[in-house]
Amino acid sequence: MNPELLVATWSCRSSASRPRPDTPCTIVHCNEAWRHVMGATHSPWGRLPDDDQQRAMGALEEAASGALVTGLLVSAQTPSRDEPLPILLNVIPVRQVASDGPRIGAITVTGEVLAEPSSWVPSQTKRHRMETLGRMTMGVAHDLNNLLSGLMGHLELVREANVLHKLPEDVQSSLNTVHQAASDGASLIQKLQRYIRDDTEVHIETLDIEALINDCLTLTQPYWRNEPRRQGITIKVERAYEHPPPIKGVASELREVFVNLILNAVHAMPEGGALRFTTYASHMGAPYQREAEVVSEAAPAVTVQVRDTGMGMDDDVQARIFEPLFTTKGEDGTGLGLSATYSIVQEHNGIIRVDSAPTKGTTFTLQFPCADHAESPSASTDQGDSESAPQCRILVVDDEAMVRRTIDKLLTHQGHAVTPVESAQKALDVLSDTPFDLMFTDFGMPEMNGAELAEAVHARHPELGVVLLSGYTDTSPAHPHVTHVVSKPFTSSDLRAAITAVLSEQHSPNDA
């Protein structure tokens, strides 16, 4: 038996509305399947146990703030069954455009009835397996970050040496390509870690939109070039860049936008075609007019057009293209890609429009406000790289020999005196006989981790600054005796910046 999907829609009075257990948003619509399983609309969660009611209401609160909640497993006690009926809920915010900006106008809840208790057990087992897989993936990501630390660190040493030894240009180019590939790999691992950890921390920065698009094209190259070529298909990528000013945003989220658009374009061109990116300066609200073509008091903006020569869409599909769960890809689609794209653009105070017709291709036009008084994203980095920290005596603690050797070489190349050791206990032994200015320690070590070592060191040498090396994504020094955190894989500049940060909190290096 495959029961009909349960569907109910709640209204929200404004974007600031938050459903409460005592005064929930009003159900404005539900289908017969919902009434049969969940009961009366005035008490929509009345057939759920108390803890499931709280979880369902919590999901409504999250949706009212714009979050999509999927895979919420609850149980309902229906009059026709002795055993609770397992139900898988998805809670979907529906955005509306108002005069004061976009808001959550309604919340749609869908429920899939798992008809037999036996179908619940595999679901729970699958969830347990996914949790286990997540933990395993985090461990593998940590190990890969260690490997990339060694690779990128030694590549930096070679790249710096090529200034002195004047390596042939083709060798320099190859080294730069390898370093860029390793850096891209590190970024992918960090994104995977943030996804598994459900890390919602965002970092707003000044962005070159053209460089960001190029990154996305590199990331998706297997989809638009390698795989189509294997099938005898050619998708040509064209860039019509006019070098508009920078914007401000969250790089990872905007990369998600353009990756989604690229993948949708590839899907729309099964026989091949062209994918064209156009960028130019404009004014907010007039995305199709270049800045020089119109005099406007509107804020300066950057327009990006993503045009494909694919199968196109009719008016009905265009009207629904940004709706959650709407897809034209059948079982291959989730219906979340363009919905997420729309939400991200809105959160960046941007605009996204679609123009299409059957057999005529599709153009997505996006517009973002320019960054106010923005500087080049690389300006601050170059300035920091030019500053040299004073020579220090540094203790390096890491159980991975390759990482240990890499840090040793990078810091020695910077002029520091380095003592590498392989364990926390060895570090404590060395510290009892030798003075140091600061210590770099890995976080994940057997017997005593880096945070525990920092605490033990502080008890004996409270003046010693501690830099924690972490293969995970959290770079905030949450431990009280950790001065600074550096994520793996690191660069020589990362280590230099960490030393500068630690020394700035000390009066001076040890004189002993």
Sequence spans of domains, the chain? 6-115, 209-376, 386-504
Look at residues 432, 459, 441 and name the one whose alpha carbon lies nearest to residue 395: 441
Interior/surface letters 136-172, b for 16+ CB within 10 angstroms, e for the rest:
eebeebbebbbbbbbbbbebbbbbeebeeeebeeeee
180-206 pLDDT, tens digit each: 667 767 766 766 666 555 555 556 889
Specify the length of the chain in residues.
512
pLDDT at 46: 87
Two tokens at 418? 């380095």
Look at residues 484, 487, 496 and name the one whose alpha carbon lies nearest to residue 382: 496
Stronger pLDDT, 120 or 188, i.e. the higher one = 188
pLDDT at 377: 36
Two tokens at 138? 């985090």
* Mean of pLDDT values over 110-118: 69
- Local structure of 383: helix, strand or coil: helix
- Local structure of 480: helix, strand or coil: coil
How far separated are the first and last CA of the chain, in Å rounded? 79
Two tokens at 309? 């020569």
CB 345 within 8 A of CB 352: yes
Give domain 6-115's CATH architecture.
2-Layer Sandwich (3.30)
pLDDT at 185: 72
Spatial neighbors of 416 by CB under 8 A, at least 6 apart, are: 391, 392, 393, 394, 499
CATH of domain 386-504: 3.40.50.2300
pLDDT at 292: 58
CA distance 215 to 209: 10
Stronger pLDDT, 25 or 427, i.e. the higher one = 427
Q: What is the pTM of this model?
A: 0.45
The alpha carbon dihedral of 338, 340, 343, 347 has a sign of negative
Distance set, CA 353 to CA 66, 97, 211, 275, 402 (Å): 20, 13, 22, 17, 50
CA distance 110 to 59: 12
pLDDT at 379: 36
Share of the chain above pLDDT 70, in %: 73
* Mean of pLDDT values over 23-33: 73
* Mean of pLDDT values over 452-478: 81
Question: CA 344, 347, 353: angle at the middle one, nearest 5?
Answer: 60
* Mean of pLDDT values over 30-34: 86
346-391 pLDDT, tens digit each: 889 999 999 999 999 999 999 999 987 333 333 333 444 445 668 8
Share of the chain above pLDDT 90, in %: 29
CB 266 within 8 A of CB 225: no
Give domain 209-376's CATH architecture.
2-Layer Sandwich (3.30)
Residue 37 has pLDDT above 70, yes or no: yes
Interior/surface letters 85-101, b for 16+ CB within 10 angstroms, e for the rest:
bbbbbbbbbbbeeeeee
User: How high is the mean pLDDT of the chain?
Assistant: 79
Stronger pLDDT, 216 or 19, i.e. the higher one = 216
Is residue 17 very low, low, confident or very high in pLDDT (cuts 50, 70, 90)?
Answer: very low
Kindly report which listed range (68-77, 97-106, 265-274, 444-453) carries the lowest average pLDDT score. Answer: 97-106
Stronger pLDDT, 31 or 420, i.e. the higher one = 420
Is residue 163 very low, low, confident or very high in pLDDT (cuts 50, 70, 90)?
Answer: low
Placement of tokens 């981790």 in the chain: 449
Is residue 336 very low, low, confident or very high in pLDDT (cuts 50, 70, 90)?
Answer: low
Is residue 35 very low, low, confident or very high in pLDDT (cuts 50, 70, 90)?
Answer: confident
pLDDT at 509: 46
Stronger pLDDT, 14 or 484, i.e. the higher one = 484
Is residue 142 very low, low, confident or very high in pLDDT (cuts 50, 70, 90)?
Answer: low
CA distance 257 to 345: 8
pLDDT at 453: 93
Supply the DSSP symbol for 75: E
Q: Do the domains spanning 6-115 and 386-504 agree at the CATH topology level?
A: no
CB 35 within 8 A of CB 54: no
Is residue 443 very low, low, confident or very high in pLDDT (cuts 50, 70, 90)?
Answer: confident
Residue 143 has pLDDT above 80, yes or no: no
69-113 pLDDT, tens digit each: 888 888 888 887 777 888 889 998 887 666 666 678 788 898 888
Spatial neighbors of 317 by CB under 8 A, at least 6 apart, are: 328, 356
Residue 121 has pLDDT above 50, yes or no: no
The alpha carbon dihedral of 462, 466, 468, 469 has a sign of negative
Spatial neighbors of 162 by CB under 8 A, at least 6 apart, are: 171, 172, 175
